[in-house]
Amino acid sequence: MKLHDLRPPEGAKKSRKRVGRGIGGKGGKTAGRGTKGQGARDTIPMGFEGGQLPLMQRIPKLRGFTNPFRVEYSPVNVGALSAVAGDRANVEAIIAAGLAHKGDLVKVLGGGELTRAVHVEAHAFSKSAEAAITGAGGTVTVVPLPFGNGRPPAQGNAHTNR
């Protein structure tokens, strides 16, 4: 079988009904519009709501822009890592210590002091946090983001230009 041999199944492609072409082929005279009234006449503007203020005029205008690909991190300061038990602070341990919520992307920031050597694994680090952790004798490991191609799934409520 070749590409040019492909055909849609019988009855899958149906030609559209051509209305207003005489009484011979159904849909003649009033062409399915009934008799008289606004719907029988020429065109009604798209979005017309019978004189009521249309939805497109009722909703507020587009103000600003919400980036659907924004990556939002849950911030955790270096000083707060002392709440994590043991010398290994991975994402699961940070969540278990109550410093972030389940499913959050964790970014370690440089606020506070670190008194012991901790091996930290997180999705992102600030430069000051990296310096503080390595200065205390610990190590820094960047965990890859859980979604492919470096982009988060598009979130709802994103404005699009139409």
pLDDT at 4 over 90: yes
Q: What is the mean pLDDT of the chain?
A: 84
pTM, 2 dp: 0.54
How is the chain split into domains, by residue range? Answer: 73-145
161, 151 in Cβ contact below 8 A?
no
- What is the pLDDT confidence band of residue 24, given thresholds at 50, 70 and 90? confident
CA–CA dist 100, 80 (Å, integer) = 11
CATH match of 73-145 with 3.100.10.10: yes
Q: For residue 18, what are the β-bridge partners?
A: none
Average pLDDT over residues 105-122: 88
